[in-house]
Structure 1
């Protein structure tokens, strides 16, 4: 269906692709992986024709329809979510818009003099709409939006009034409703809660077209893709299987390449030593020349490319008492909406609570109450006397000072630390070389999240309160964070929609439901086994 043949592409001074080739066939579900900046979005844009390769060609079979979801959703104001989603479905959306205009004209007293004409036109439009299966399309659009977490009110409301994350969901719904021959999805799992993520997973499993996608959610990728294409140093390499299988294959290939490289280096060293030793002796001239020619002809084995992964190790957190946080008879409401009514909850030392609940259940509110960022209407929230807390909230990234560099921000917070430890800290969180001189205002969402995390963990608290800490983080950084936090000896309370993160780090589950709270001893994996569901909103 889609072929990239010997693609060459340069962005500024960066060589993105060098003689790279790959194919996407009907029925294939491919995960596109590679470090940030490797060229994943550039590849999508070349397939859709938004960018051209400098060399080689991109071939798309005639008649193949492509749906491309990117993080840049544009302006959507003035339409309902349903209308915006149906807009991607071709001619039927034009007829729906025409019907909406005619309906408005019928309700307008100033148009009464031409009512017969309007009604006739409306009848014709309605007939075309039925022929195009428009009423079924409206139902399908609502079904997709419902799967992505929209209420009926949000479906019929103005998209322009929605937050950026919800607009992303509308843009994604548009591609899903379109059901093109090939879907290109750039981070579709961003901005989705766990219920929506699991719904999307099922939708894509049942999709029979070709799929090429990126995702920072390894569990999501594992369950959908049957092939991985890796971008590494300008080349494209295909691996059959899911993400986990790719990781195993990549590790084996790296090991074999390293062994081959070392064998060749040993052989070359012997040959060069012989040449150096005997090059001045006439009696060995023929042998020396023969070996020089042999060396010239050898295809040199490169060592495996090393992806930069630096492990972060915690300094020991100060010890605190057994009772870390106690909530007693807490009531909390926003306007007429009650979040908690008489909540009792206790967190004890070294417990790792993951908080589960559907949108609006009060997950972030609970973290804010514990962190002191919000007060209960009635009741008490008490932290133990020796508790030192670190709180990661989404708005924390907005508090970074735009004109300060990454390194200056670290120095401002830890003036006594010295340059070497701070540079090591920056390196652990993905800021190496010149990247520590970047100003905070130009950092991406992922870079800001990493910097805030570094500030919080350098001088570790004994209570970590984390609200979606993995948003914006790539798979490698997430894994580094999981490995670091698994060694952490303090107490944790966190919200995340990343199932790998939940399973790796929790040893308690607090589930918020309309009927009240449920607690589960054991972590997220045990919770899934006991409830038979991966998220509370999926329970029938």
Structure 2
């Protein structure tokens, strides 16, 4: 369906692709992987024709429709969420718009003389609309929006009133409703909660077109893709199987290449030693010349490319008392909506609670109450006297000073630390070399999240309250964070839609439901086994 043939592409001084080739066939579900800046978005843009390769060609079979979801959703305003979604449905939405115009024309007395032509055209358009199952479009749009977490009230509300994250969901719904022959999805799992993520997973499993997607959620990728294409050093390499199988194959290939490189290096050293030893002797001139020619013809084996891996180790956190947080008879309302009515909950030292619940159940509200960012209407929230808290929330990224650099933010937060430890900290969180001098205003969402996380963890608290800490983080940074937090000896309370993060770090589950709270000893994996669901209200 789609072929990239010997693609070459350069952005400024950066070489993105060199004679790279790959193909996307009907029915394939392909995960596109590679480090940040490797060229994943550039590849999407070349397939859609928004950019052209410098060399080679991108070939798309005649008649193939392509739907592309990117993080740049554009402007949305002036109509309802469901109308905005339906507008993305391809030809059927254009037919609906024309039918609406023709219906208005039929009621216009000034166009009475054109009525026969208008009615004939309306009949033609309506017939095509029916062929494309247009009359079910509203229902199908609402089904997709419901799956992505929209209430009926939100669907009929003004799309312009939505936050950026919800507009992302509308943009995704438009593409899914279109059901093109090929779906290109650039980070579709961002901005989704766990319930919506699982719905999208099921939708994509049942999608019969071709799929090419990127995602920082390894579990999501694992369950959907049957092939992985890796961008590395300007080339494209395909691996059959899911993301986990790709990782295994990549590790085996790296090991084999390293062994091959070391064998060749040993052979070269031996040959060079012989040449150096005997080059001045006339009796060995022929042998020396023969070996020199042999070396000139050898194809050099390159060592495997070293993937940049970051690691972070916590300094020991001060020990807290056994009772870390106690909520007693907590009541909380937002306007007419009751969130909690008499909530009792206790967190003890070294417990790691993941908070589960459907949209609006009060997950973030609970974290805000514990962190002191919100007050209960009634009841009490008490933290132990020796508790030192670190709170990560999405709004924390908005508090960064846009005019200051990454290093200045760290220096301001820890004036006594000295340059070397702060540069090492920045490196652990992906700010190496000149990146430490970037102004905060130009940082991506992921970079801002990494910086806020670094500032929170350098002088470690003994209670971590984390609201979606993995949003925007790439797979490598998530792995670093999971490794670091698994060795953390403090207490944790967190909300996340990343199932790998949930399973790796929780040892308790608090589920918020309309009929009260349910607690589960054991972590997220045990919760799934006991309830038969990966998220509240959904079957696994």
Shorter chain as denominator, the TM-score bin is over 0.9
SS at match of 2:141: helix
| Alpha-carbon distance, 1:97 to partner | 2.9
Asked if the contact 2:332/2:340 (under 8 Å) is kept, the reply is yes
**The 10-residue stretch of structure 1 (410-419 or 474-483) with the greater mean CA deviation from structure 2:** 410-419
Task: Quote the Cα distance in structure 2 between the aligned partners of 1:160 and 1:117.
Answer: 37
Asked if the contact 1:83/1:93 (under 8 Å) is kept, the reply is no
Task: Quote the Cα distance in structure 2 between the aligned partners of 1:57 and 1:310.
Answer: 36
Asked if the contact 1:510/1:519 (under 8 Å) is kept, the reply is yes
| Alpha-carbon distance, 1:196 to partner | 0.7
| Alpha-carbon distance, 1:454 to partner | 0.3
Instruction: Indicate how the Cα distance of structure 1 residues 373 and 118 shifts in structure 2: closer, same or farther if over 3 A, else same.
Output: farther
| Alpha-carbon distance, 1:106 to partner | 9.8
Q: Which runs of 5+ in 2 are unaligned?
A: none
Instruction: Indicate how the Cα distance of structure 1 residues 462 and 272 shifts in structure 2: closer, same or farther if over 3 A, else same.
Output: same
Asked if the contact 1:278/1:284 (under 8 Å) is kept, the reply is yes
Instruction: Indicate how the Cα distance of structure 1 residues 47 and 516 shifts in structure 2: closer, same or farther if over 3 A, else same.
Output: same
| Alpha-carbon distance, 1:130 to partner | 3.7
Task: Quote the Cα distance in structure 2 between the aligned partners of 1:376 and 1:339.
Answer: 10
Q: Is 1:385–2:385 an aligned residue pair?
A: yes
| Alpha-carbon distance, 1:472 to partner | 0.3
Task: Quote the Cα distance in structure 2 between the aligned partners of 1:405 and 1:143.
Answer: 45
**The 10-residue stretch of structure 1 (112-121 or 42-51) with the greater mean CA deviation from structure 2:** 112-121
Residue 348 of structure 1 is matched in structure 2 by 348
Asked if the contact 1:5/1:19 (under 8 Å) is kept, the reply is yes
Task: Quote the Cα distance in structure 1 between the aligned partners of 2:151 and 2:530.
Answer: 29
| Alpha-carbon distance, 1:380 to partner | 0.3
Asked if the contact 2:310/2:477 (under 8 Å) is kept, the reply is no
Task: Quote the Cα distance in structure 1 between the aligned partners of 2:36 and 2:192.
Answer: 21
Instruction: Indicate how the Cα distance of structure 1 residues 360 and 111 shifts in structure 2: closer, same or farther if over 3 A, else same.
Output: farther
Residue 200 of structure 1 is matched in structure 2 by 200
Residue 516 of structure 2 is matched in structure 1 by 516
| Alpha-carbon distance, 1:90 to partner | 2.8
Task: Quote the Cα distance in structure 1 between the aligned partners of 2:106 and 2:345.
Answer: 57
| Alpha-carbon distance, 1:470 to partner | 0.1
Asked if the contact 1:352/1:505 (under 8 Å) is kept, the reply is yes
Asked if the contact 1:189/1:215 (under 8 Å) is kept, the reply is yes
| Alpha-carbon distance, 1:280 to partner | 1.1
Task: Quote the Cα distance in structure 2 between the aligned partners of 1:438 and 1:166.
Answer: 29
SS at match of 1:512: strand
Task: Quote the Cα distance in structure 2 between the aligned partners of 1:311 and 1:344.
Answer: 38
Instruction: Indicate how the Cα distance of structure 1 residues 105 and 63 shifts in structure 2: closer, same or farther if over 3 A, else same.
Output: closer
Asked if the contact 1:465/1:493 (under 8 Å) is kept, the reply is yes
| Alpha-carbon distance, 1:160 to partner | 1.3
Instruction: Indicate how the Cα distance of structure 1 residues 77 and 113 shifts in structure 2: closer, same or farther if over 3 A, else same.
Output: farther
Residue 437 of structure 1 is matched in structure 2 by 437
For residues 90-144 of structure 1, give each alpha carbon's deviation from its aligned partner in whole angstroms, at most 9, with x where no partner exists.
3331343345567789999999999999999988876664454221122111111
Instruction: Indicate how the Cα distance of structure 1 residues 120 and 159 shifts in structure 2: closer, same or farther if over 3 A, else same.
Output: farther
5 Å matches for 1:171-250? 171-250=171-250
| Alpha-carbon distance, 1:301 to partner | 0.6
Instruction: Indicate how the Cα distance of structure 1 residues 234 and 379 shifts in structure 2: closer, same or farther if over 3 A, else same.
Output: same
SS at match of 1:110: helix
SS at match of 1:88: coil
**The 10-residue stretch of structure 1 (141-150 or 314-323) with the greater mean CA deviation from structure 2:** 141-150
SS at match of 1:213: strand
Asked if the contact 1:332/1:340 (under 8 Å) is kept, the reply is yes
Instruction: Indicate how the Cα distance of structure 1 residues 344 and 78 shifts in structure 2: closer, same or farther if over 3 A, else same.
Output: same
Instruction: Indicate how the Cα distance of structure 1 residues 318 and 342 shifts in structure 2: closer, same or farther if over 3 A, else same.
Output: same
| Alpha-carbon distance, 1:279 to partner | 1.0
SS at match of 1:89: coil
| Alpha-carbon distance, 1:403 to partner | 1.2
Residue 448 of structure 1 is matched in structure 2 by 448
| Alpha-carbon distance, 1:85 to partner | 1.8
Asked if the contact 1:446/1:473 (under 8 Å) is kept, the reply is yes
**The 10-residue stretch of structure 1 (184-193 or 131-140) with the greater mean CA deviation from structure 2:** 131-140
Asked if the contact 1:314/1:460 (under 8 Å) is kept, the reply is yes
Asked if the contact 1:144/1:177 (under 8 Å) is kept, the reply is yes
For residues 27-69 of structure 1, give each alpha carbon's deviation from its aligned partner in whole angstroms, at most 9, with x where no partner exists.
1100000001100000000011110000011111111111111
For residues 147-184 of structure 1, give each alpha carbon's deviation from its aligned partner in whole angstroms, at most 9, with x where no partner exists.
11111111122211111111111111111111111111
**The 10-residue stretch of structure 1 (274-283 or 322-331) with the greater mean CA deviation from structure 2:** 274-283
Task: Quote the Cα distance in structure 1 between the aligned partners of 2:7 and 2:296.
Answer: 29
Task: Quote the Cα distance in structure 2 between the aligned partners of 1:118 and 1:50.
Answer: 37
SS at match of 1:123: helix
SS at match of 2:87: helix
Instruction: Indicate how the Cα distance of structure 1 residues 239 and 382 shifts in structure 2: closer, same or farther if over 3 A, else same.
Output: same
Task: Quote the Cα distance in structure 1 between the aligned partners of 2:122 and 2:2.
Answer: 41
Instruction: Indicate how the Cα distance of structure 1 residues 29 and 121 shifts in structure 2: closer, same or farther if over 3 A, else same.
Output: closer
| Alpha-carbon distance, 1:88 to partner | 2.1
Instruction: Indicate how the Cα distance of structure 1 residues 162 and 117 shifts in structure 2: closer, same or farther if over 3 A, else same.
Output: farther
TM-score norm. by structure 1 comes to 0.96
Task: Quote the Cα distance in structure 2 between the aligned partners of 1:373 and 1:166.
Answer: 23
**The 10-residue stretch of structure 1 (130-139 or 490-499) with the greater mean CA deviation from structure 2:** 130-139
SS at match of 1:52: coil
Task: Quote the Cα distance in structure 2 between the aligned partners of 1:67 and 1:157.
Answer: 25
Task: Quote the Cα distance in structure 1 between the aligned partners of 2:289 and 2:120.
Answer: 94
SS at match of 1:199: helix
Structure 1 runs of 4+ with >6 Å offset = 102-125
Q: Is 1:468–2:488 an aligned residue pair?
A: no
| Alpha-carbon distance, 1:276 to partner | 1.0
Asked if the contact 1:89/1:177 (under 8 Å) is kept, the reply is yes
For residues 513-539 of structure 1, give each alpha carbon's deviation from its aligned partner in whole angstroms, at most 9, with x where no partner exists.
111111000000000000000000325
Instruction: Indicate how the Cα distance of structure 1 residues 386 and 211 shifts in structure 2: closer, same or farther if over 3 A, else same.
Output: same
Task: Quote the Cα distance in structure 1 between the aligned partners of 2:423 and 2:483.
Answer: 20
Residue 32 of structure 1 is matched in structure 2 by 32
